[in-house]
Every structure is written in C-alpha cells, then in structure tokens.
Amino acid sequence: MEIRLKMSQEQGVLHAGLDSGIQHPSLFGWISDFINKTLVITELEVRKLRHDPTELLTRAAQPALWMLVFGEVFSRVRAIPTGNLSYIDFMAPGILAQSVLFVAIFYGIAIIWERDLGIVHKFLASPTPRAALILGKALSAGVRAISQAVIIYLLALVMNVRLSWDPFALLGILAAVVLGAALFSTFSLIVACIVKTRERFMGIGQILTMPLFFASNAIYPISIMPDWLKVIANINPLTYEVDALRRLMLAGGTSVHSLSTDFIALIVSTIILVTIGAKLYPTVAR
C-alpha cells in the first residue's frame, strides 16, 4: 500500500511538472520545456533521499578507509613520486573522485526497481523526452555526490590536507563532482538497460568499479604506469575528473591537462552517454 502511494505521488509530481508547456513551437520554448522537465525529474529523484539518507554515509565509508589506512601507510613509504605534494595531499582528490564513482556506479539498479514497480512504464507514457529523463536522473546523482564531497573535505581537514578555499575553485569542484556523478550514473543506467536484472547488474557493477579506479590517476600518477595502462588511463573519464579536482582542490595543486581539457572531456562523455541512455531506456521496460 505504501509503495502504491509513493508511486501515485511521484506520478502526480511528474505530470504536474511535465504537463506544463507541452506545446512550444519555438526553439527557445523547446529548450525551456526540456530544462523544466529535466529539473522535475531531478527534484523527484533527489526527494527519494528522505526515505534513506543513511545511504550517503555508508557509501562514504570505503573512501574514508582508503584515506585513513592506504593514504597514511603510503605517506610513510614514500614509494610513489608525487612532485611537490605529500602523498596524502595527492591522494585526497582521487579519493573524492572514487567516492563519487561509488555513489554513481550502482545508480542503475534503481531503474530495475522502478521497472519492477511499474514506474518506468509511467515515465515512458508521459510526454517527457527520453533524454530529459536520463539527464534528470544523472543530475540527481550529482546532487547526491555533493554530500560525498562534504564528507571527504571534512576528512581531509582532519588529516591536514592543504586545501584551497578559493570560491571559484570550490565552484569548479562542485561542477567536477556533479559532472563525474552524472557521467558514471548514466553509464550505470546503460548497463542496467542491457542486463535488466538486479543480480547481473550487481555483479557487473562490482567488476567495473575497481578497474575504473585503478586505471586512473587517483592514487598514483600516470607517468609511472606501464604503456598499455597509460592508454586506458587516458581514455578513462575518471582520470580527467581527478585531474581537475587535483588542480582545484589543493593549495598549489597542479594538473597534467588544462582545466578546459578536463571539463570538455567530462561534458562530451556525459553527452554521449546521455544520448545512448535515451536510446536504451525504453528497452528496460521490455
């Protein structure tokens, strides 16, 4: 009974926000309508946090352990060249990116739950563009990931990481976190549309998380990787997220690529995945 009530409430919010402005003949009207529907989906998804806010804290446990255990140990070993940064400083942006990845990569399982509850069919019956559905869900994952940034920042303060408090840098960090979460949550949704069962999805999600993390510059620089791993790292979107965070998050932080390159890589990857996700989303209901 409670599930049905939640479904009816969500459907009511959906139609209340999506039925307004269905007919917009101009390009500006279409864009405005698309943005409005995307934000309605985002708000609908974020509201689910009220039912289980502890999820965000449990997702932060593993990255916290990485910083507290792995980071402290390797800071003493000094086996990884990190330039003018201490290892714990070098690692902190990578752990933030890892935390965002962990929040986003299992986001697709919610699509399977929604299909089983019949919510996906109601979304598909609405006048909402498929891309707006996918982008709205992606942005909601970004909002969830902001909480991980707050947790990692607090932990970094305790561990005396040299953080930058420049307002523009903080805005850049928020943008990188939201983009990273949107990208990987959309990737997760695509996987869910393909496998279509919770059991398969959980297995694949576990398989994907560690390779994405280790084949990036999160805990060691690309320069010390073997050549074959450098190729993978340079096409891994997580690498560009970490690179941007390392430049913005740390006082005196540097990046391998320019910030424009990092953000373009994240934006283009997100657009591509949203487009693919919009094509595959109806298949999850079959």
pLDDT one-digit tens code per residue, 163-200: 989 999 999 999 999 999 999 999 999 998 888 788 88
CA separation for the pair 176, 199 (Å, rounded): 31
Minimal CA–CA distance to 272: which of 104, 135, 105? Answer: 135
Q: Alpha carbon 156 to chain centroid distance? A: 20
Q: Which residue has the tokens 């040299």?
A: 162
13 lies in some domain: no
The CA angle 265-62-162, to the nearest 5 degrees, is: 65
Percent of the chain surpassing pLDDT 90: 28
CA separation for the pair 194, 180 (Å, rounded): 22
Gyration radius of the chain's alpha carbons: 20
What is the reported pLDDT for 20? 47
Q: Which pTM value belongs to this model?
A: 0.83
10 lies in some domain: no
Q: Which residue has the tokens 């693919």?
A: 276
Span 54-67, pLDDT tens digits: 666 676 677 778 88
272 lies in some domain: yes
Percent of the chain surpassing pLDDT 70: 87
DSSP class of residue 222 equals G
What is the reported pLDDT for 7? 45
What is the reported pLDDT for 121? 81
pLDDT value at 267 more than 90? yes
Q: How many domains does the chain have?
A: 1
Task: Name which of 15-19, 30-34, 37-41 the model is least confident about.
Answer: 15-19
CA separation for the pair 16, 10 (Å, rounded): 10
CA separation for the pair 48, 70 (Å, rounded): 33
Mean pLDDT of all residues in 4-16? 48
Phi, psi of 2, deg, nearest 5: -65, -40
Q: Which residue has the tokens 């500006």?
A: 28
By the 10 Å C-beta count (0-12 exposed, 13-18 middle, 19+ buried), 76 is classed as: exposed
Q: Give the domain extent around 83.
A: 54-285
Q: Alpha carbon 8 to chain centroid distance? A: 28
38 lies in some domain: no
175 lies in some domain: yes
226 lies in some domain: yes
Record the tokens describing residue 212, joined without a space: 């994405």
106 lies in some domain: yes
CA separation for the pair 174, 284 (Å, rounded): 31
Mean pLDDT of all residues in 209-235? 91
What is the reported pLDDT for 24? 45
Residue count of the chain: 286
Span 97-138, pLDDT tens digits: 988 898 888 888 888 888 888 888 888 888 888 888 888 888
203 lies in some domain: yes
The CA angle 222-164-75, to the nearest 5 degrees, is: 50
What is the reported pLDDT for 1? 43
Q: Which residue has the tokens 């593993």?
A: 62
Inter-residue contact 205 to 106 (CB < 8 Å): yes
